[in-house]
Structure 1
Amino acid sequence: MPRSRRRETQPASPAPARNRHGRRGVRGPITGPHLPLLQGRIDFFETTVASCADYLKGLWPDELAPVRFEIAAAPANALGPDDVERWSVDAARDRITLFRVPIERLAKLHRNDEYHRRMFIESCVFRAVAEYLGKDPWELAPERYRHY
C-alpha cells in the first residue's frame, strides 16, 4: 500500500507587531505618548455630571445621601424642541436622571467650547438637585457665589 504524501508547509512567520507568545499584546493609545488621551462626548458628559454630583453631595450630605444620579440618552416621551426634558426627578425613588442628548444638542451656547459645555451641564445638575430639594439653585452653594 502506497504511503500518502505529506505536504510540508512552512509555518507563517509572525508579524513584527507580535510579542514572544505570538499575540498582539496591549495596544497603545492612538494619540501617542506625548499627547493627551482623547475624550469623547459621552465620557466628558459622565465625568462632568459625576464631579458636580460629588460636589453637591459634599455640600448636602444628609439630603443627597440616598440619591442616585443616572444618565440616559433621551427621555422616552420627547415631543419637540420646546417640550424635551433635560432631566427627570423622581423623589419617591430618590433618583435624578439627566438626559444627555437634549442637554448637549439643544443647548444654545454663545461659545461652543469645553468650558461653556461643562458649565451648562453643571447648571443642569444644579437645577435638577434644586428641584429635588425644593430649593433655588443659587441656594445650593451660597459660599461659592458670595463675593468678598
Structure 2
Amino acid sequence: MPRSRRVATPRSPRRLARDRHGRGMRSAVTGPHLEPLRTRLDEFDFTVATTAAYLRGLWPELEGVVFEVAQGPAEAIHGDHVDRWKVVHDERRITFYRLPIVRFLRLQEGEDRDEKLLVESCVFRAVAELLDKDPWELAPGRYRHF
C-alpha cells in the first residue's frame, strides 16, 4: 500500500557513522533479538490493508482498486464536516485520511481495539460507497451472532 506521507530523504554520511563519546555505534531501540516496534502509523496502515484484503476476497469487483492512506489534505475540510475518505470512481481509488479518522475518536489510553474497529468501519463505508451498496451488505454473514 503506497504511503504518501513518507518521502525518502538521503541521510548525510556523518549521521550514519556517528560514534557518540567513544561508545561505538548505536543499536536499534528494540535490540537485536526483538522485532522492531510498530508505530501507530503502521497499525493504521495494517488495519486498512487487512480490511481491504478481506473485502477483496469477498467482492471480485474490488480487483484493481487502489487503497491509499494520507494525512488529511486541506481540501477534505469543509464548513460543516471533515472528509474521512475520498472515493474516486473513475480511477478506482480510495484515499483514507488518517488524522480525521483518528483525531475525532477521542479514545482513552489503552483503547486500541476501538480505534481498529473505527478504521475498519471507515474502510467498509468507503468500499460500500465505491460499489454503491450498503456497508452491511458487504459481509452479510459476518455480523450474525446466533
User: In which range does the TM-score fall when normalised by the shorter chain?
Assistant: 0.7 to 0.9
The answer on whether the counterparts of 1:75 and 1:84 sit within 8 Å (CA) in structure 2 is no
Partner of 1:74: 72
Partner of 1:88: 86
Q: Specify which structure has the bigger relative contact order, considering alpha-carbon pairs within 8 angstroms and separated by 6 or more residues.
A: 2
Partner of 1:39: 38
Question: Displacement of 1:79 after TM fit?
Answer: 3.2
Overall identity of the aligned pairs, in %: 52
Measure the CA separation in 2 of the matches of 1:88 and 1:37: 32
Partner of 1:51: 50
| Higher alpha-carbon deviation: 101-110 or 27-36 | 27-36
Measure the CA separation in 2 of the matches of 1:74 and 1:38: 24
The answer on whether the counterparts of 1:89 and 1:132 sit within 8 Å (CA) in structure 2 is yes
Closer/same/farther in 2, CA of residues 126 and 107 from structure 1, 3 Å limit: same
Aligned residues: 124
Closer/same/farther in 2, CA of residues 16 and 76 from structure 1, 3 Å limit: closer
Q: Secondary structure at the match of 1:79?
A: coil
Structure 1, unmatched stretches of 5+, are 1-14, 18-23
Give TM-score, length-normalised by structure 2: 0.74
Give TM-score, length-normalised by structure 1: 0.73
Closer/same/farther in 2, CA of residues 106 and 39 from structure 1, 3 Å limit: same
Q: Secondary structure at the match of 2:87?
A: strand
Is 1:137–2:125 an aligned residue pair?
no
Structure 2, unmatched stretches of 5+, are 1-21
Partner of 2:105: 107
Partner of 1:123: 121
Larger Rg: 1
Measure the CA separation in 2 of the matches of 1:141 and 1:104: 24
Is 1:30–2:29 an aligned residue pair?
yes
